[in-house]
A = this chain, B = another copy of it.
Amino acid sequence: MIQHPAFTVEPWWIRECRLHLDVLPQTESVFALSNGHIGLRGNLDEGEPHGLPGTYLNSVYELRPLPYAEAGYGYPESGQTVVNITNGKLIRLLVGDEPFDVRYGTLHDHERRLDMRAGTLTRKVHWTSPAGGEIRLSSTRLVSFTHRAVAAVHYEVEPVDQPLSVVVQSELVANETLPGMGEDPRAAAALEAPLELEENTPGTSGVAVMVHCTRASRLRVAAAMRHDIDGPTGTRAEADGGDDVSRLTVATRLKPGERLRLVKYFAYGWSAQRSRPALHDQVVAALAAAHLTGWEGLLSDQRAYLDEFWAGADVEVEGDAEVQQAVRFGLFHLLQSGARLERRPVPGKGLTGSGYDGHAFWDTESFVLPVLTYTHPRSAADALEWRQSILPKAEDRAEQLGLRGAAFPWRTINGEECSGYWPAGTAAFHINADIADAVVRYVDATEDADFERETGVPLLVATARLWSSLGHHDIEGQYRIDGVTGPDEYSAVSDNNVYTNLMAQQNLRAAADACVRHSDRAQELGVGLEEIAIWRDAASAMVIPYDERMAVHPQSEGFTRHAVWDFDSTKPEQYPLLLHFPYFDLYRKQVVKQADLVLALHLRGDAFTPEEKARDFAYYERLTVRDSSLSACTQAVIAAEVGQLDLAYDYLGEAALMDLHDLEKNTRDGVHMASLAGAWTALVAGFGGMRAGNGRMCFSPRLPSGITRLCFRIRYRGRLLRVTVTADTTTYELLHGQALTLSHHGEEFTLDRAPLRRTTPVTPVPATRLRQPPGREPIPRHAAPPSRVTPSPSP
């Protein structure tokens, strides 16, 4: 957790006004820029000091061996790890005869600002070198949303009050030395200097190009740079390079009032198939296009792209400036992770760090895509098309496991399973139903029939086939799914996990329905009426365990008979539990890492009565320790639904501030995409009460005391809606598109041109606040004091 206010609270910016070296690694993640294809951590321009240097290209990974003390059939032998590729953002500076390094000399002023409307990271520095050379420096960095392969830096340096000689070195550097590589010497060896040089053409003729290939995974990566230089007469530029570095050195002498300005354009490309010359040309061409657009053009394109995004996605929160900022921060990073995916995955940390080895998990389908589906639907389609692209590998995996259909990997970059611990990896089959759920949601939200036909049907069929081979009928004809792991990672390999069974049930039905709608496509995939009937039968006979004695749903069969974890004897420093207790002990007791049954209450709310929801939620609140970032947002949604609005508000705070406050102490490894998405979900699905499906969008708005006004935009079936909730009134507006039937707290109405107002019902304050495990209560949410807020209008 960040102990001091690292960032100011402002609605459209994340601003750092002092350089705290203790949180440098965290700020590198928070200030990361990405377009879903390229990711640049918020490293200082000059490279040092740093927490973790990071430049990533989506799906560029190296292989590393996965070792086992005792091997087993079907264990993956090698894993994939995202690699830090050629660093193009590096600009070193020599002032007089001393290198600019914030750890030396005097740093008078420092400001970095992530501008969520401009899509830029700007930096302003006022620094005096140890020898007395005083400069002002400003840089602006962007990763272009409109030029997928391109990033750029606008860099300006000027002397303050005396003439200074200044040398700027703009570089491409590969195989940077990274801090601590983990304990396995073989894995570390695989990841040290993973790039083999194939070409290093210095920028003597303007454009410098470097081409590398990863040592084991054989992915070719090209990086290129070119510059616009603007300095006083006598400014001289030279290009050189060698081994893993390419350099443009610009030397000049600046008088007060003069400045050296450098615009650096850099571009990336990679391929597992294309040749070195092809990639060389690809990046040079990308630079030519960017250079033609120019710096100002890139800036204005960037802003236009974001204006369009915010127009359909923005959430306004009055009464809580921190949450206001955080939800936009979350949406901004979500867009960054998904904007230009083009059939690549959204990793758990986006492209903001190397946490989780850069792997994509179910986080994408169950947390990130529900937000992108209603705000930037093209990205949701892209991510699902990536799943389709790895379908052959998932089918191979299913075959290896003795199953039909597809078994998608628990964690992966290239589509092959990278999980080295099967009870919490391969056994977590729910990921397949989560993918199906994302397909169903996307198709419902967009009516994108082409997508459903081309991508949706194959994914639904492959996952339905998995479920129909994974389950079996018992002697009473009930359909059971035994020995699998649900979302809660403090339980594993149990029978009839309610979440899994309900999601599988939906998966089977959705596959059946989609095959009926696209019977020709179904036929291509070999789906006949008999198979469809088998799916429907399995769905209808699905076992949903219920504990009559306790009047709650057990997370899995037998769960409610297990011993309850001894929370009273667990010390605060023993969380997260998995670092202090063995799995065997966690698995056999009633203790929940993250929403599991409660996630079912959200995603399959139709399967529970309101009374069941209230009882189940209360029961699991006492057991859930939230040692995962995939929990608070779901708890917020259900807390709101059962009328525990202040509790929901606390959970909203936790989800929203996960990274800005570094609540799990690992933001240094990258931001938590799922939790960032959760801020939107807690607001829209929680306090907005939004649920959608089968062409119907329903709202049940209710606000906690800390929020005075909540306004959100949603894209649904070609419409753009705006919903504004206050304590008294909810206003529905159709900003774009044709009339649509909605519901407000169960009352249906048709929304057309004219805004409609409805009363926001009063939610009675609950008699008792629900209990959580001692010490694991969410931080009570108090709105940020208004004095720190800089008001700024919404677009």
Contacts and interface: CB of A to CB of B under 8 A. Distances in A.
A69 B421 contact: yes
Interface in A383-422: 400-402, 419-422
Interface string A556-573: 011001110000000000
A401 B588 CA distance: 13
A268 B122 CA distance: 75
Nearest to A577: B73
A73 B578 contact: yes
B420 A561 contact: no
B73 A483 contact: no
Interface residues of A, number: 53
This protein's copies in its complex: 2
Given A69-B420, A580-B73, A493 B587 contact: yes
A450 interface: no
A562 B482 contact: yes
Contacts of A472: 563
A579 interface: yes
B422 A584 contact: yes
A180 interface: no
Contacts of A558: 482, 495, 557-558
Nearest to A561: B474
A695 interface: no
A73 B581 contact: yes
B70 A69 contact: no
A156 B66 CA distance: 53
Given A186-B185, A581-B402, A587-B493, A480 B561 contact: yes
A764 interface: no
Interface string A410-448: 000000000111111011000000000000000000000
State the majority secondary structure of interface residues on A: loop
A583 B68 contact: no
Interface string A69-108: 1101111100100000000000000000000000000000
A400 to B, nearest CB: 8
Interface string A454-474: 000000000000000000101
A482 B66 CA distance: 31
A410 B427 CA distance: 24
A549 interface: yes
A582 interface: yes
Interface string A169-197: 00000000000000011100000000000
Contacts of A562: 480, 482-483, 495
Contacts of A184: 67
Contacts of A767: none
Contact of A422 (B495, B557, B561, B583): B583
Nearest to A403: B585
A585 B68 CA distance: 19
Given A557-B558, A580-B73, A585-B402, A493 B493 contact: yes
B584 A427 contact: yes
A444 B353 CA distance: 64
Contacts of A563: 472, 480, 482
A485 to B, nearest CB: 9
A475 interface: yes
Contact of A421 (B70, B186, B578): B70
Contacts of A493: 423, 492-493, 584, 587-588
A550 B558 CA distance: 19
B582 A426 contact: yes
Contact of A582 (B422, B581, B588): B422
16 contacts: A68-B69, A68-B420, A69-B419, A72-B578, A72-B583, A73-B583, A186-B186, A401-B584, A402-B581, A423-B423, A423-B584, A427-B584, A483-B562, A483-B587, A495-B558, A557-B558
Interchain residue pairs A-B with the least CB separation, the first 5? A69-B420, A483-B588, A67-B67, A66-B69, A74-B582
